[in-house]
Amino acid sequence: MPDNLSVELLAVQSQMAAFVDAQLKLTEDALPSQHQRVREASKQAGFFFKTQPAEFGGSPASALELTMLREMLAATNSPLASSVFGPGPGVLHAAEGTLRSHYLEPVLRGEKRGAFGFTEPDSAPRPTYAVVDGDDLLVTGIKSYVTGGATADFVSILVNVEDADGGKLGTAMVAVDRLASGVTIDREFSSMEGGGHVSMKFDQVRVSKENVIGKIGEGMPRALGNIGNVRLMVSAQAMGMCLFVLDYVENHLKAPHRSGSPLGAREGVRLRYADMRIETYVARSALYRTARLVDDGGNTVNETIATKVFCTETAGRVIDMGVQLVGGQALVTGHPLEALYRQVRSLRLIEGASDLLRINLVKGRLEMDKGRV
C-alpha cells in the first residue's frame, strides 16, 4: 500500500513535491528548452540519477521509491515529467566492450538514443534473422513498430541467428546503427497517444558480432530482462493518471453546474465517482505491494504481470468514467481528459498485451508453481 512509507521515503516524497511545484509548470518558453531546464534541475536535485546504475555515477533507487516517484510525476499530468529521470540502460544493462563504449555509455550520458525493435509485421515471410559471416552477422527482416526509430542512433533488435548452412543457433539481441548500410525506414506513423514510430527494414545489414547483447542464444531473456521493471513503471504511470483524474473530477463535482446544484449533489454521480475511487484504491494497494515484493528479491514475474494488467485496465475504466462525468467538454481537443483518454489506451498493449500476460500468469502458476495472490 502507498501508506507506511519509511521516514526516508517520506522525505524524498516531500522533495519531489517541492520539485514538481518549482519545475513542472509549463512556461512561455519553447518546450525543448523547458525540458532542458527540467533535466538540469533534476540533476541538481539528484532525481535524474535514480534510474542509472551506480557504476556509471548513478544512485539507483529501490523499486518502491521509483514507483512512488513515477506515480507522483504521472499525477502532475505535465509533459515535462518525462525529463525528470535520466535514461536507463534498458536492454544494454550488462553490455561490455564495444557495446559498452559505443552504445551504453553514450546512452547514459544522454549523447545517443536507442530504440527497441521486437514487434514484427503479420505479413513477413519469416521472422527477422541473422546469418553468421565470419566475425559479422548479416541481418534481414522487418521490425514494424519501433518507437522513436526515426531519430534513434541505433535500434536493439531480436533476431534468429543461423550459421551459413541454415543451422539454428538461437535468438540474439543485436544493436544496429540506424544509418548502417541496408537499414531503411519503410513507414513512419504516429499513434493516438502521441508517440512517433517507424517500420524498419533490414536488408543483409552487416553487423559485427561484438554488437550482440550478451551471447547468441540469449536473445529472448535479454529482450525481456528488464521487462518486470518496465511493467512496474507502466503500472505506476497508470496510477498517477488515476490520481490526476480523481482530483480533476472531484473539483468538477464540487463546481457550480447549470442545473443549479453541483453534480456532486446527485446520488447517481456519487456512485460512479465512488467506483473510480474504489478501483484506484485497490489498484494502488496492489502496485505498492508488488514494488515491496520486488525489493524483497525472489521471483515476482506473476505479481508484476497481475499488477500491470490490473492497474492499466483500472486506469482505462477510471479515465473513461472521468470523461463521462465531466461531459462533452472532456472530449474537446486539448482538454486534459481527452489527452489522457488517448494516452491510457496504449498501456494495455505495450510491454505485454493484457490477454497475453494473463496467459503467461496462468502458465507461471500451472507449470512453474509461481505467483502469490
Ligand X SMILES: Cc1cc2nc3c(=O)[nH]c(=O)nc-3n(C[C@H](O)[C@H](O)[C@H](O)COP(=O)(O)OP(=O)(O)OC[C@H]3O[C@@H](n4cnc5c(N)ncnc54)[C@H](O)[C@@H]3O)c2cc1C
Residues 254-283 touching ligand X, rule: CB under 6 A, are: none
Q: Is 362 in the site for ligand X (CB under 6 A)?
A: no
The CA-based dihedral angle spanning residues 234, 128, 159, 102, taken in that order and rounded to the nearest 10 degrees: -80
Q: Is 359 in the site for ligand X (CB under 6 A)?
A: yes
Q: What cell does 247 get?
A: 482530483
Q: Map grid coordinates 529521470 to a residue.
A: 85
DSSP string of 6-33, one letter each residue? -HHHHHHHHHHHHHHHHH-S--SS-HHH
User: Which residue, 10 or 124, is less far from ligand X as judged by CB?
Assistant: 124
Helices 267-296, 227-254: inter-axial angle, 10-degree rounding = 160
Cα separation values, 255 from 76, 93, 250, 262, 326, Å: 21, 49, 9, 6, 11
Stretch that binds ligand X, among 133-141, 226-234, 246-254, 345-353 (CB under 6 A): 345-353
Pick the binder of ligand X from 96, 355, 362, 365 (CB under 6 A).
355
Residues 115-134 touching ligand X, rule: CB under 6 A, are: 116-119
Q: How far is the CB of 22 from ligand X (least distance, A)?
A: 31
With CB under 6 A, what is the number of residues at the site for ligand X?
Answer: 17
User: Which residue, 177 or 193, is less far from ligand X as judged by CB?
Assistant: 193
Q: How far is the CB of 250 from ligand X (least distance, A)?
A: 29
Residues 299-338 touching ligand X, rule: CB under 6 A, are: none
Residue window 138-167: x/- pattern of binding to ligand X, with contact defined by CB under 6 A:
-------xxx--------------------
Q: Is 103 in the site for ligand X (CB under 6 A)?
A: no
DSSP string of 230-272, one letter each residue? HHHHHHHHHHHHHHHHHHHHHHHHHS--TTSS-GGGSHHHHHH
User: Which residue, 164 or 353, is less far from ligand X as judged by CB?
Assistant: 353
Q: Which of 84, 103, 83, 82 is nearest to 93 (CA)?
A: 103
Q: How far is the CB of 356 from ligand X (least distance, A)?
A: 5
Pick the binder of ligand X from 350, 360, 364, 371 (CB under 6 A).
350
Pick the binder of ligand X from 11, 353, 366, 368 (CB under 6 A).
353
* DSSP H helices in the chain: 7-23, 31-45, 63-76, 97-98, 105-109, 219-223, 227-254, 267-296, 301-326, 336-345, 354-368
User: Which residue, 23 or 128, is less far from ligand X as judged by CB?
Assistant: 128
Strand pairing of 114-117 and 154-162?
parallel
Pick the binder of ligand X from 53, 58, 195, 217 (CB under 6 A).
195
Q: Could you list the residues that contact ligand X (CB under 6 A)? A: 116-119, 145-147, 191, 193, 195, 346, 349-350, 353, 355-356, 359
